[in-house]
A and B are shown apart, each in its own frame.
Chain A
Amino acid sequence: MKLRILLADDHEIVRRGLRSLLEKREGWEVCGEANDGREAIEKALELKPDVVIVDIGMPKLNGLDATRQLLELDPHFKVIVLTITDSDQVIREALDAGARGFVLKSDAARDLVAAVEALQNKRMFFTPRVNDLVLAGFLEKGQAVSRTEVPRLPTLTAREREITQLLAEGNSSKEVACLLNLSTKTVETHRSNIMRKLSFHSIRDLVVYAIKNNLIQIELPPPPPPKAPTGPAVA
């Protein structure tokens, strides 16, 4: 019986690359693809894959929140998260969300097959850095303790996190309401609660928060080239 895999990444080019890699393995089949976290949950519930591979940085609903929600709906799903960064915070959140595998996108060509194999054999798969953190006592009795202490922020509910991501992506309250099938008034209420809980005064604060907490992932542009000197130095 084939091992069925669902791929969730907002870049079709990346999904093509992942599919090409995974389908080289005899007995493995990519049974579906999703473009965002919301679609990932719908397709997982519909297709019941053996393994779900989710990119963390996806629009509408990021991979970490999609993982959390999916496992709340059905804890039997096995999820591997793909990420462009392996910061302490991302690792902690991926583990807290219930992911059984953690692979850096830059190393996916090397590690993803091993990760899927591990999950197929009922084992977990994490990058060496994650293992180091676990061994160093990163996870202790269900509490996350980081070497570089991350200040505890007030906790947002799952719905508030969803709305924070959508607002940080540039959606208006009306657009968020449409996407989540809520009334604009309800979204506005959530928005006020979020701003109050986090003591934010502007949408800019929200965007910075979303980036820092991996609700959205961005790639920074390269620095501009150094300017050529315009003339001889004057003594």
Chain B
Amino acid sequence: MTVRILLVDDHPIVRQGLKTLLEGRDGWEVIGEASDGAEAVEKARYLNPDVMVLDVTMPRMNGLEACRLLRRQAPQLEILFVTQHDSPQMMREAMNAGARGYVVKSNAARDLLAAVEAVSQHRAFTALNGRDAAELH
């Protein structure tokens, strides 16, 4: 069964890089993109993705706010944060907002595929710099 992924980042270049990485996997499909949290919430409503790859710092509505809204609106959606913020505190906030995964952009090429695989199977996945990736059951 195809894993349907919505990419959310305010930088089109980052979305392009994420897309290139993700679409190399059989059975994964990037079904749409959004450039801020408000657009992410709207697109999630009609595209019904399985996984949302979400940045934190974005204009109009940031990723944390979007995540909290989506937890109520689309409880079946799994959210994976891919962010510049290499901080345990930010990671805790993201997981408390309802995310299933959190990886740092500088290691996205290394961690993203494993992270999407885990969250698409409803398993948590977190990885900060200098710490091994943790898959939490």
Pick the contact of B17: A10, A17, A221 (CB < 8 A): A17
Whether B121 sits at the interface, judged by CB under 8 Å, is: no
Give Cα A15 to B14, complex, Å: 9
Chain A residues contacting B15 (CB-CB under 8 Å) are 17
Q: Which of B80-104 contact A (CB under 8 A)?
A: 82, 84-85, 87, 90
Measured CB to CB, the closest approach of chain B to A177, in angstroms, equals 21
Q: Is there contact, CB below 8 Å, between A109 and B16?
A: yes
Give per-residue flags for A104-141: 1 if the beta carbon is below 8 A from chain B beta carbons, else 0: 01101110100000000000000000000000000000
Chain A interface size, under 10 / 10 to 19 / 20 to 34 / 35 or more = 20 to 34
Give Cα A104 to B108, complex, Å: 21
Given A109-B12, A219-B85, A221-B57, verify A14-B90 contact (CB < 8 Å): no
Measured CB to CB, the closest approach of chain A to B8, in angstroms, equals 14
Whether A232 sits at the interface, judged by CB under 8 Å, is: no
Q: Is there contact, CB below 8 Å, between A225 and B65?
A: yes
Other than the given A14-B11, A105-B11, A109-B13, 18 more pairs (CB < 8 A) read A10-B106, A11-B14, A12-B108, A13-B18, A13-B21, A13-B82, A16-B21, A17-B16, A17-B20, A106-B10, A108-B12, A108-B13, A109-B12, A109-B16, A110-B12, A221-B57, A222-B56, A222-B57
Give Cα A161 to B65, complex, Å: 38
Q: Which 10 A-B pairs have the closest CB atoms?
A: A17-B17, A109-B12, A17-B16, A12-B109, A16-B17, A222-B62, A13-B17, A17-B13, A13-B108, A108-B13
Chain B residues contacting A219 (CB-CB under 8 Å) are 57, 84-85
Pick the contact of A221: B10, B16, B21, B56 (CB < 8 A): B56
Closest chain B residue, CB of each to CB of A217: B84
Measured CB to CB, the closest approach of chain A to B5, in angstroms, equals 15
Q: Is there contact, CB below 8 Å, between A14 and B17?
A: yes
Pick the contact of A15: B17, B56, B65 (CB < 8 A): B17
Q: Which of A183-235 contact B (CB under 8 A)?
A: 219-222, 225
Whether A21 sits at the interface, judged by CB under 8 Å, is: yes
Give Cα A112 to B64, complex, Å: 30
Given A13-B105, A17-B17, verify A108-B11 contact (CB < 8 Å): yes
Pick the contact of B87: A110, A112, A221 (CB < 8 A): A221
29 contacting pairs across A/B (C-beta < 8 A):
A10-B106, A11-B105, A12-B106, A13-B18, A13-B21, A13-B112, A14-B13, A16-B16, A16-B17, A16-B20, A16-B109, A17-B13, A17-B15, A17-B17, A18-B17, A20-B16, A20-B17, A20-B20, A21-B16, A105-B11, A106-B12, A109-B13, A112-B13, A219-B57, A219-B85, A220-B57, A221-B85, A221-B87, A222-B65
Pick the contact of A17: B14, B68, B90 (CB < 8 A): B14
Chain A residues contacting B65 (CB-CB under 8 Å) are 222, 225
